């Protein structure tokens, strides 16, 4: 399929021309210089993501999707090409400016949860706010609110070790949401979770996307998980291989209802 | 990230690993405590010297007969015969001088009934007792009249009394024999203890200088003149005026050396203080080596901590911590560590010097500056040795750090 067609198809579905895209990358290249060899991880990626989109990035390992995610998450800088986040060119910002962008515009959710151990859920969620000088009281209020939005009220004082994997990931999602970012980047968020918990996490993402219009970029290699997104971008060998709308989109809430009742109670207790 | 938040995060991180925190602080604790103790002992010693010197006399200026250099042959000090009672009388005319006593000393065997004792007999004028701030506690001092008449009267020091008289016997009014001459005891001096040189000051008999000159030593000159300046501030000018007066009276040409020696308690105090200060400095610098070792301990633990917490650093960077935020976090941990160690070190140092005082009976004194310096120094150690690990943490690549297992 020709690429223009795919692009126009995507625009048509979203119907948001005129609105500033959350992500707009043009001809993005990333080359890792390993001394003797040069590894071309990304070989010219162009992509636009409009506000309120829910995009799944797929691809085999080595396809460049992780590199792309690091660039989109402002953890790294591209070798060549342009990246506009919320209309702001962030491809040539300094390290300090990138840290500020990560703090204010991007929320991360990782496969390994990446919570601070021996630190309460509330303090974990509060963490990004510490780095943008929000006063103590407001920090607590906003962190509390974020924890409620992922359904973890009552567990604010629990340490990660006292929470199940699904609960830990929900704390991580709350942490990503607490700064009201333009974009949530989720890197294999269900990779460490069982299938039921995975669906529950996808339910949270779908609700955040639908109810609060939060833009989500989901990196996954599981086709089942990608089907909860609205759009799938497939990477191969550092290029976009396919960019398509999800036809048979799954509704996580419906899937949970269809799942057999397992001994979930034991895990919760 | 505000200062309070940084501080709280640092405290929390340190509280997480209490045993390690305490062991790391131990280096600083011992270092600061050692510095405080040595400074306290040094200050205490120099303070004691000051007190002893002050008790030596009232703004004391001493003139001793000097050495003679006749035709290239040096004689010992106090060999000159040029210092006289007349010199003392003219020194008394100097406005900065309030009291003068010429002195002659000789060692004699003293006998009372069947007891005898060898002691120094000092010939002085009645002004001696106020110059030396040495009151007569039993009886009374001899008088100017006794001096003029070269009377056979004397005042005894405590040690002499103890060696000649039975316990409880009142020496006043008794007659003792010095050099086979009868002397009536008119008074007993208050006990003074040891001089700064460790010599028993109470082993003394004081008699009119004229009596000692004529009847015991058989000389016409004096060996020393002790004078009191009017105030601490006039000790130095008094010293200078005495010197020029004596040079003039002794007809010394400008190219000739003094035939006398002038010393004030101020001179002695300075010399003593200087040697005490050198010793304190030496001890304190040895002690501060342990502070340095403590600092290296902090650096070591901070480096371990940075490696252990690589993932945490990655997480913090991912959610928006800048290099400076991470650096400040680790730096403040090091500073909190060393400051806390410094505070505990001060407490241990204070208790340690109190223990030294009570167990070894050494005087100790902790100058407030020492505590301020200890605090500043330990904070400095934290910043200095915490900087490298903190920098290392700040330079981590967030992607690598997040991937770290």
Residue B71 has pLDDT above 70, yes or no: no
Confidence check: pLDDT of B380 > 50: yes
How close B12 gets to chain A, by Cα (Å)?
Answer: 9
- Please indicate whether residue A157 or residue B77 has the higher confidence score (pLDDT): A157
Residue A14 clears pLDDT 70, i.e. is over it: no
Check: CB of residue B154 under 8 Å from CB of residue B207: yes
Query: CB contact, 8 Å: A132 with chain B?
Result: yes
CA torsion, ordered A122, A125, A126, A131, to nearest 10 deg: 160
pLDDT of residue B69: 60
| Least CB–CB distance from B320: residue in A70, A100, A136 | A100
Q: Do A115 and B315 touch (CB under 8 A)?
A: yes
pTM confidence score: 0.73
**Nearest CB partner across the interface for B16, out of A76, A114, A118:** A118
Report pLDDT digits (tens) over A227-258. Answer: 999 999 999 999 999 999 999 999 999 999 88
Q: Is B398 part of the contact surface with chain A (CB cutoff 8 Å)?
A: yes
Contact B222, B85 (CB under 8 A): yes
Distance in Å, alpha carbon of B1 to nearest chain A alpha carbon: 5
Cα separation values, B405 from A193, A205, B38, B209, B309, Å: 19, 27, 47, 93, 10
The predicted pLDDT at position A19 comes to: 82
Asked casually if ipTM beats, i.e. exceeds, 0.90, the reply is no
Which among A68, A128, A130 is the top mutation candidate for probing chain B, defined by the most B β-carbons within 10 Å of its own β-carbon? A130
* CB-count burial class (<10 Å; 0-12, 13-18, 19+) for B218: exposed
| HEC sequence for chain A | CCHHHHHHHHHHHHCCCCCCCCEEEEEEEEEEEECCEEEEEEEEEEEEECCCCEEEEEECCCCCHHHHHHHHCCCCCCCEEEEEECCEECCCCCHHHHHHHHHHHEEEECCCCCCCCCCCHHHHHHHHHHCCCCCHHHHHHHHHHHHHHCCCCCCCCCCHHHCCHHHHHHHHHHHHHCCCCCEEEEECCCCCCCHHHHHHHHHHHHHHHHHHCCEEEEECCCHHHHCCCCEEEEEECCEEEEEEECCCCCCHHHHHHHCCCCCHHHHHC
Is B402 within 8 Å of A118 when comparing Cβ atoms?
Answer: no
Answer whether residue B55 shows pLDDT above 90: no
Q: Do A102 and B402 touch (CB under 8 A)?
A: no
pLDDT tens digit sequence for B311-333: 999 999 999 999 999 999 999 99
Is A110's CB within 8 Å of B399's CB? no
Judged on CB neighbours under 10 Å (0-12, 13-18, 19+), B190 is middle
Contact B1 A104 (CB under 8 A): no
Q: Please say whether the beta carbons of B39 and B370 come within 8 A.
A: yes
> What mean pLDDT, rounded, does chain A reach?
88
* CA pair distance B120, B357, nearest whole angstrom: 34
Q: What is the per-residue pLDDT across A60-105, written as a single tens digit (0 to 9) for each?
A: 888 999 899 999 999 999 999 999 999 999 988 999 999 999 999 9
- Between positions 297 and 316 of B, the ones with CB within 8 A of A are 311-312, 314-316
Say if A160 is an interface residue toward chain B (CB within 8 Å). Answer: no
B99 pLDDT higher than 60: yes
A118 and B2 within 8 Å at the Cβ level: the answer is: no
pLDDT band at A225 (very low <50, low <70, confident <90, very high): very high
Q: What is the per-residue pLDDT for B276?
A: 77
Q: Which helix (H) or strand (E) holds B60?
A: strand B60-65
Q: Tens digit of pLDDT for each residue in A26-39?
A: 999 999 988 888 88
* Mean pLDDT on B87-108: 91
Residue A9 distance to chain B (closest CA, Å):
34
**In A, which residues are within 8 Å of B311 by CB distance?**
114
Looking at the complex, does the CB of residue A61 fall below 8 Å from at least one CB of chain B? no
Band of pLDDT at residue B299, cut at 50, 70 and 90: very high
Question: pLDDT of B155-190, one tens digit each?
Answer: 999 999 999 998 888 999 999 999 889 999 999 999
pLDDT value at A183 more than 80: yes
Chain B CA closest to residue A114: B315
| Residues A102, B318: C-beta atoms closer than 8 Å | yes
Residues in chain B: 405
pLDDT score of B201: 85
- Are residues A107 and A146 in contact, defined by beta-carbon separation less than 8 angstroms? no
């Amino acid at each position: 399929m020709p690429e223009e067609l795919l692009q126009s198809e995507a625009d048509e579905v979203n119907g948001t021309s005129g609105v500033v895209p959350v992500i707009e990358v043009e001809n993005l290249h990333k080359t890792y210089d390993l001394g003797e060899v040069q590894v071309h991880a990304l070989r010219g990626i162009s992509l636009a993501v409009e506000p309120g989109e829910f995009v799944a990035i797929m691809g085999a390992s080595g396809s460049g999707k992780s590199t792309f995610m690091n660039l989109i998450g402002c953890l790294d800088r591209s070798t060549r090409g342009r990246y506009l986040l919320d209309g702001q060119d962030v491809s040539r910002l300094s390290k300090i400016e990138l840290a500020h962008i990560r703090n204010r515009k991007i929320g991360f959710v990782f496969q390994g949860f990446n919570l601070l151990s021996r630190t309460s859920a509330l303090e974990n969620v509060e963490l990004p706010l510490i780095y943008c000088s929000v006063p103590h009281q407001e920090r607590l209020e906003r962190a509390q609110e974020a924890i409620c939005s992922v359904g973890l009220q009552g567990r604010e004082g629990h340490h990660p070790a006292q929470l199940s994997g699904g609960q830990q990931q929900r704390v991580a999602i709350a942490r990503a949401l607490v700064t009201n970012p333009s974009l949530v980047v989720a890197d294999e968020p269900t990779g460490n979770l069982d299938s039921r918990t995975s669906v529950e996490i996808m339910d949270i993402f779908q609700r955040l996307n639908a109810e609060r219009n939060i833009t989500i970029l989901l990196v996954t290699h599981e086709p089942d998980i990608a089907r909860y997104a609205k759009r799938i971008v497939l990477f191969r060998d550092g290029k976009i291989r396919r960019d398509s709308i999800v036809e048979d989109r799954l509704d996580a809430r419906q899937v949970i209802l269809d799942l057999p009742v397992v001994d979930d109670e034991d895990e919760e207790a | 990230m505000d200062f309070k938040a940084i501080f709280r995060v640092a405290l929390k991180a340190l509280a997480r690993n209490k045993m390690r925190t305490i062991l790391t602080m131990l280096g600083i604790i011992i270092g600061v405590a050692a510095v405080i103790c040595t400074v306290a002992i040094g200050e205490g010693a120099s303070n004691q010297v000051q007190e002893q010197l002050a008790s030596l006399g009232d703004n004391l200026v001493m003139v001793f007969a000097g050495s003679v250099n006749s035709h290239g042959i040096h004689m010992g000090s106090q060999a000159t015969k040029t210092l006289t009672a007349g010199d003392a009388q003219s020194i008394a005319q100097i406005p900065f001088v309030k009291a003068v006593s010429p002195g002659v000393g000789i060692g004699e065997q003293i006998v009372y009934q069947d007891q005898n004792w060898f002691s120094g007999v000092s010939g002085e004028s009645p002004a001696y007792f106020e110059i030396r701030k040495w009151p007569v506690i039993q009886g009374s001092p001899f008088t100017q009249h006794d001096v003029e008449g070269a009377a056979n009267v004397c005042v005894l020091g405590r040690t002499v009394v103890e060696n000649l008289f039975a316990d409880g016997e009142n020496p006043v009014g008794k007659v003792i024999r010095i050099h086979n001459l009868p002397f009536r005891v008119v008074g007993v001096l208050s006990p003074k203890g040891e001089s700064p040189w460790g010599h028993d000051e109470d082993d003394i008999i004081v008699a009119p200088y004229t009596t000692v000159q004529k009847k015991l030593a058989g000389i016409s000159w004096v060996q020393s003149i002790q004078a009191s300046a009017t105030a601490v501030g006039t000790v130095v000018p008094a010293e200078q005026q005495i010197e020029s007066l004596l040079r003039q009276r002794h007809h010394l040409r400008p190219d000739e050396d003094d035939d006398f020696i002038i010393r004030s308690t101020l001179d002695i105090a300075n010399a003593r203080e200087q040697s005490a200060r050198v010793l304190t400095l030496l001890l304190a610098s040895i002690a501060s080596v342990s502070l340095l070792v403590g600092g290296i301990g902090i650096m070591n633990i901070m480096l371990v901590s940075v490696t252990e917490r690589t993932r945490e650093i990655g997480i913090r960077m991912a959610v928006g911590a800048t290099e400076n935020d991470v650096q400040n976090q680790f730096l403040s941990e090091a500073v909190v560590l060393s400051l806390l160690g410094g505070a505990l070190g001060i407490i241990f140092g204070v208790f340690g010097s109190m223990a030294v005082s009570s167990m070894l009976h050494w005087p100790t004194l902790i100058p407030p500056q020492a505590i301020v310096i200890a605090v500043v120094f330990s904070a400095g150690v934290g910043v200095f040795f915490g900087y490298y690990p903190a920098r290392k943490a700040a330079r981590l690549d967030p992607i690598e750090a997040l991937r770290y297992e």
